[in-house]
């Protein structure tokens, strides 16, 4: 049960970061968008936390 819950949270975090980067970050370069997308796919929860702290706080 715990592992599947973490997996679901990881998928939600990855989807959130990818969606927000490509739809709401108009001033971000395509290279940075691609980097955030790759990071979200491999390190979803950590990437979501870093994204919220580094990009969304501006």
Q: Where are the domains of the chain?
A: 2-54
Residue 57 confidence (pLDDT): 80
Find, among 37, 40, 5, the residue nearest to 49 by Cα. Answer: 40
> Residue 58: pLDDT above 80?
no
Handedness of CA 31, 55, 22, 11 (dihedral sign): positive
Task: Please state, for a pLDDT cut of 70, what percent of the chain lies above it.
Answer: 97
Give the model's confidence band at 20: pLDDT under 50 very low, under 70 low, under 90 confident, else very high. Answer: very high
pTM for this predicted structure: 0.88
């Amino acid at each position: 049960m715990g592992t599947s819950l973490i997996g679901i949270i990881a998928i939600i975090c990855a989807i959130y970061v990818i969606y927000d980067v490509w739809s709401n970050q108009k001033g971000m370069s395509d290279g940075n968008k691609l980097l955030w997308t790759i990071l979200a796919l491999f390190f979803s929860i950590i990437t979501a936390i870093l994204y919220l702290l580094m990009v969304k706080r501006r």
